[in-house]
A = this chain, B = another copy of it.
């Protein structure tokens, strides 16, 4: 009759938290969220603690982590809360960067869909590639492999990525400017641009050859599409840079 303090049955708890009863069963079996208690008949009974835990679960789930990871994270959570926190912040920041890039892409798509009468599937496809590249949450895994977790909490990487993003955009614009002005790829100015380009790549990949390789693969793939280009930077830009870099040695 009297709810022993505040214990809720499954469906009630589910209604309050917005998840389904089935999901609760699921989390229970996975060991993610064991109800605080069970009634004599075996009914699941959820208490205050379970609210908090569930909140953490849905939060991490939202950030794109699979339930397995969430489990292991929450298990040794208390251990280094600070590191976890830092990761959270970085993940949010990264997420935001991705989203902002997506908006840019969508704006472009809207413009061209408004101006033309036929859907330019190819342009749309380009945009989608760019967005998906950034929505590819592989980097999260990187954050969460045990080894790199340590490495990460060692380094400081706060908003390096965000800054890098802007610098890229600026540099690309400058190169386009140089091209339109007919600057010679062998000139000093071109050399300087190429040097900055190289530095940014170095900066972005952190000297990690795997990241660099996957970047190259990405751009190589796009170059193979039969029809015209709509990449973050055009072939002209990359051609200019590689010419400049070549005439350097």
Where the two chains meet, the residues of A that have a C-beta atom closer than 8 Å to any C-beta of B are: 6, 15-18, 48, 51-52, 55-56, 58-59, 62, 81, 84-85, 88-89, 92-93, 95-96, 99-100, 102-103, 106-107, 109-110, 113-114, 117-119, 121-122, 124-125, 128-129, 131-132, 221-222, 224-227
Q: Could you tell me the distance in whole angstroms from the C-beta of A21 to the nearest C-beta in chain B?
A: 14
List of 10 A-B pairs having minimum Cβ-Cβ separation, nearest first: A16-B224, A55-B121, A55-B125, A62-B128, A96-B106, A59-B124, A18-B221, A99-B99, A56-B121, A89-B113
Residue from the list B17, B92, B113, B124 in contact with A109, Cβ < 8 A: B92
A-B contacts, 22 of them at CB < 8 A, read A15-B221, A15-B224, A16-B221, A17-B221, A18-B129, A18-B221, A18-B222, A51-B225, A51-B227, A55-B121, A55-B125, A59-B124, A81-B118, A84-B119, A88-B113, A89-B113, A89-B114, A92-B106, A93-B110, A96-B107, A96-B110, A103-B103
